[in-house]
Amino acid sequence: MTQLSAFERDPFAITLETRILRCGEDKGRPFAILEDTVFYPEGGGQPCDLGSLNGVAVVDVQKRDGEIRHYLDSVLEAGPASLQLDWSRRFDHMQQHTGQHLLTAVAQDQFKWETTAFHLGASVCDIELSAPSISLREMEQLEELVASEIRAHREVSARRVSPEAYKLEAVRSRGLPDGHIGDIRLVQIAGVDLNTCGGTHLRHTGEIEALKLLGTESIRGGTRLFYAAGRRARLRLGAHEKRNAALRALLGAPDEELVAALQIKLDQMLVLERRSRKLEEELAEYQAAALAARPGTIVEAHLEGRDMAYLQKLARGILAIDSAKAVYLTADTGGQGIFLLSAGEGSTLDVPAAGKAVAAILGAKGGGAGKNFQGKAPSLAAREQTVFSLREMGQ
């Protein structure tokens, strides 16, 4: 039988005294090979454990060429090793992974949905099911059935069997990894499931605490089902409650009326945005007429707080009235200066050359084509100098 690592002998072990057999480097990352380890290496949809080795952070754990490499934050040497596991991360992974086994078993037994993939994510987990789609009602039924098995406090155990014994077991499995040789690890939820798995698991289903189904999406002809178990589910609920409290204060409505209250606010905003756009268009028309009436071949103006779209609209309005003019407009928006240089068909101003001159004076970046040039500047402190330069060029 295979010699078991500490993480498999006792998934609840947090510390271990062992030895560093040798050290190495993989693409600039130092790693250590240990005599034994409490650190689970990434695999089977479950991320690796983290923690420390002789006070140095273990940042990744991977199986490479039949050995477990502990990737480290800094270089160590062979010798005694003191391991400290990030227990919060380990227990979270055990809750999610054991929850997956239970969810998979209930989905297949009660709905005939086979699990084809599992992913243990940083905030939510998912399984891929053979179901073409899953209705809200079916999700509710599945969640209730899983909750019933959590309350049943069913024992979870692991054991290894020979390939010959494996063939005699009633195993629910997606198959063994390619090239697998030797004995096979089975994880059992008493009375519910027997599956092949190399991950870390809880002692009984009650330790899952709770499992909440979060939603679905279609994928490869099946359905991806998202969930959160244990402390993750509680943290998620806490985040929702905190967010709802903030929304209640902002909208002045109880939880059950938050969506309706927000919709009212959004509708009001849409009305105000339409009104604002109409007023802006009217303002641009009036400003264009006033600026076009100014004497000279170059019209210049600075408009505080306006964006490039407004400057472009204003320039078009001015040149529609008098195509012999050139327009130089600037604005401060979000702590940054912007400028627009545009000329009518009757203007003699060389816009590309003038635009580059303005950009150079302002220390700006910009560009354009034909009769238009625009850019952004860190400051408009030298604006008066640009106006003087343009007037000279436009003579």
Summarised one tens digit per residue, pLDDT across range 311-357 is: 999 999 999 999 999 999 999 987 889 999 999 999 989 999 999 99
Question: What's the residue count for the chain?
Answer: 395
pLDDT the model gives residue 394:
66
CATH 3.30.980.10 in the chain is located at 91-238
Q: Which residues contact 141 (CB under 8 A, 6 or more apart)?
A: 110
Residue ranges in the chain whose pLDDT is less than 70: 1-2, 174, 177, 179, 394-395
Q: Give strand pairing partners of 327.
A: 299, 342
pLDDT at position 172: 84
Whole-number pLDDT of residue 334? 76
Architecture of domain 6-85: Beta Barrel (2.40)
- Both tokens of 70, joined, read 């502990």
Nearest CA-CA partner of 322 in 350, 290, 352, 353: 290
Global model pTM greater than 0.75: yes
May I ask the CATH class of domain 291-394? alpha beta
Give the full edge-to-edge strand order of the sheet including 115-120: 115-120, 125-129, 222-229, 211-219
Answer positive or negative: Cα dihedral of 209, 51, 43, 37: negative
Look at residue 66 in the predicted model and tell me its pLDDT: 85
Assigned CATH class of 91-238: alpha beta
